[in-house]
Structures are given as structure tokens and as C-alpha cells.
Amino acid sequence: MFVDCMAPMRGERGGSPARGARASLPLPRRLIRQIARHVASSGRSLRRLEVSGRIIDNFDDIEDASDESDMETSQPAVACGGNAGNLPPAEHDDDLTSLSWLQDRNLLREPRTPPPICRVPSPPRTPCKAPPPPPVNAHAKPPYSFSCLIFMAIEAAPARALPVKEIYAWIIRHFPYFKHAPQGWKNSVRHNLSLNKCFHKVAAAPGLGKGSLWTVDPQHRSTLLQAFGRQPVPPVEIEAEPTDTSRNAPDPQLFPYLARRLADTRTPPGADEYLAAATVLAMKYGPAVLDQLPPEAHLVISRCARDEHSYSGGEERRTAEALLNLAGVTPAHPQPS
């Protein structure tokens, strides 16, 4: 267990699930509803939506008064695409089905949003009972811990290793707040790199100059993913790289490591890597990303380490293949179904 070899991250009191077990990636309730309703409204259905081990078959179950605090109080969830759903009909949609709250928060950017297979026109918005969450200003301090920022920066690097200077640059590029922030934040980054066991220093590449390359310890990777999943909002791409708009699909370079790992037929990726891809895509592109998955695909997001659900490898593999296609990565040797 990770607690034996590293300091737990914020909010973590126990160990992490072993490789292959369900990883812990909570989603805000509002996003859970978004996912479930969007799947339902697009003609698909959920086989199950599970929150904290409780099967949700009625969305009133999660329509509670604490709604406005959704983004701060993430709830564990398991959402599975399937064919035997019993969700409320789409005409019950209100602001929860619309992705406008994400747009309002500048979290879904049109060029990055994958084309839906079956787009259902969003109904006109009705006034929300609860006050909307405060808008996220891209120039405000990001709601991510430094460990998550560093993790994202390293994860986005093609080599999954970055010198400190590049980590600074990535953070500034994606979170302009730091462009004019007091210089102390760089100290915090270095402090985090040194102190956090999730990050490892590797030998400097020739010609790199001073400093070392920093990587994410593979053993602690899922822990960082969990921490990432606990963050209240997905990251905002401020300076998006030019994408192939004709395809209008996610940039396969965005998460090169995950794409490469999922495409690797010689060394099968672990369940946490499938899960990481699903989570990263879902968090980045919003619930609409689920439209891209085949009906039998599973997206499993759960905090419960004791979650003993059994899923066949085929389901995970099909999900991974769907995500691969979504990411624009075609396996050289498609795995047999």
C-alpha cells in the first residue's frame, strides 16, 4: 500500500487500491448527473450509476440541498454505459443536462469538444434552484494543488519527464495566473518536487544544462490521478495547440503517454491506465465524451477501494479501444474482441 512508502496526499487517509482494482476518482455530483443524463438523453442508457456504493436509479437521490457545494465535495461514483438503464426520461432535463454550466466555466472549449454521435438539442435553460458556482477565472489562482499542476505538466510531456524550467513554463502557459503571481510559487514547485515522493529526479539529459529531469514515480501515479480527480474542476487549456479541426477530435498528443500505453499491444496497460485515460478524457471534454463510447463500454469511476465489482477484461479492453479511437490513436494490432 502506498501509505507505507509515501506521505498521503490531502484528504487521503487510507491506502490506494492495488493495480487492477478500481481506482479512486471521485466526481462532483453535478458532473455525475451530467454524465448520466447526457448518456440518457443521447439515446443511450446507464446500466448503473453508483454513488458511495449506493445504486442511483432516481436522480432525486442526488438532488439535495448541498448542490451548490458540488464542486467542493466530490462524490465517488461508478457510471457504466449499458443497455438496461432505468433513468428518468430526457424531458426532465433542466440545467443539469445542458453543458452550458461547463461552458460558462470555460471548461469545455469548442475546438476540443469531440463531435457527438447523436446530438440532442439542449432544451432552453430553466432557472437553477441553487446559485451557480462562481465562475472560474483562468487568470485566478487555479484550484489545483502544486502536486497536481506538476503532475499535469509532466504527464503532458511527450517524454513524461520535464526539467523544472519546463514545468514552470507549462504551468504558466495553462494557468496565466502564475505569469504575474509572486515568485514564491516557483519555490513551491521546487519544494513540492523535492518533498513529494510522487516525483523523482532522473539523470539530466545531455545538453540539458543545469538541473535534472523530473518524472512521476509509476508507483505513485495512480495516487496522483486520484488527487487529480479530487480537484474541483477540470483544467483549462488557455493556449490550445492547433488541432485538426476537420476531424474535430481530441489531440492525440495531449496525453501521449496514455495514448502510447493504450496502444501498446506487447505490454498491456493496467486497469489504472485505462481508467486514467477515461477520467482524463471525461474531465477534459465533459460528459459528451461518453457519446463516443460503444454502448457496451464501461466508464468506471469509484472511490471505493473495497469496490469488488467484477468486470471482464473484454469490457475494459473495448472501453480502451473506444478511447483510443477517440484520441485518434489506432493500435497497430487491434486486440481481438
Partner DNA sequence: ACCTTGCTAAACATCC
Partner DNA sequence: AGGATGTTTAGCAAGG
24 lines the binding site for DNA (CB under 7 A): no
CA distance 104 to 95: 12
Closest listed residue to residue 82, CA positions, set 51, 49, 108, 58: 49
End-to-end CA distance of the chain: 33
192 lines the binding site for DNA (CB under 7 A): yes
**214 in Cβ contact with 204 (< 8 Å):** no
168 lines the binding site for DNA (CB under 7 A): yes
Q: Which CB atom, from 34 or from 145, has the smaller least distance to DNA?
A: 145
Q: How far is the CB of 59 from DNA (least distance, A)?
A: 24
134 lines the binding site for DNA (CB under 7 A): no
Q: How far is the CB of 193 from DNA (least distance, A)?
A: 6
Q: Which CB atom, from 125 or from 191, has the smaller least distance to DNA?
A: 191
191 lines the binding site for DNA (CB under 7 A): yes
Q: Site map for DNA, 215-254, x if CB under 7 A?
A: ------------x---------------------------
CA distance 30 to 28: 5
175 lines the binding site for DNA (CB under 7 A): no
CA distance 295 to 290: 9
Out of 62, 164, 277, 290, name the contact with DNA by CB under 7 A.
164
Q: Which stretch binds DNA (CB under 7 A): 37-45, 57-65, 142-150, 243-251?
A: 142-150
Q: What's the sign of the alpha-carbon dihedral 124, 326, 286, 92?
A: positive
Query: Could you give the strand order of the β-sheet that contains 213-216, starting from the edge strand earlier in sequence?
Result: 162-163, 213-216, 199-202
DSSP-derived secondary structure for 79-123? EEEES---PPPGGG--TTTSTHHHHHTT-S-GGGSPPPSSPPPPP
Q: How far is the CB of 12 from DNA (least distance, A)?
A: 5
Closest listed residue to residue 30, CA positions, set 105, 80, 82: 105
86 lines the binding site for DNA (CB under 7 A): no
* Chain positions contacting DNA, by CB under 7 A: 7-13, 73, 141, 144-147, 163-165, 168, 182, 184-188, 190-195, 201, 209-212, 214, 227
